[in-house]
Amino acid sequence: MKSYPDAQIIVTGHILGGALAVLAAAEIQIKFKNFQHLYRFGQPKVGNKQFAEFINGLIPSYYRMINQDDAVPHVPSVNYMHGRIKSHYDSR
């Protein structure tokens, strides 16, 4: 960051990598304040409602894409939720 202070940081991940991407994006934004985009694909839920609201306020550009028939983005089902925008893709 010292060499490239204006660099834009983009984080992406798929399934478990998508869940880890959320945590990494939060840490990067808190530490460096120049996080730009988070893209997640087929990610399970990472935290509760308060965590989702925290991430929504922390990350400026936050997207998740899921296949409607994929079970992974729907787990765990109790007391967990996703943050912000989602795009559904039908496998048919």
Q: For residue 42, what are the β-bridge partners? A: none
| Strand-pair partners of 88 | 66
What's the pLDDT at 56?
87
Per-residue pLDDT, 89: 60
> By the 8 A CB rule, do 52 and 27 touch?
no
pLDDT digits (tens, 9 = 90+) for 11-23: 999 999 999 999 9
pLDDT at position 17 is 96
C-alpha span between 65 and 41 (Å, rounded): 5
- Examine the pLDDT at 2 and tell me if it is beyond 90: no
Give the count of alpha carbons within 13 A of 49, CB side only: 2
Is the predicted pLDDT of residue 85 greater than 70, yes or no? no
When mean pLDDT is compared over 6-10, 17-21, 59-63, 77-81, the highest value belongs to 17-21
pLDDT at 25: 92
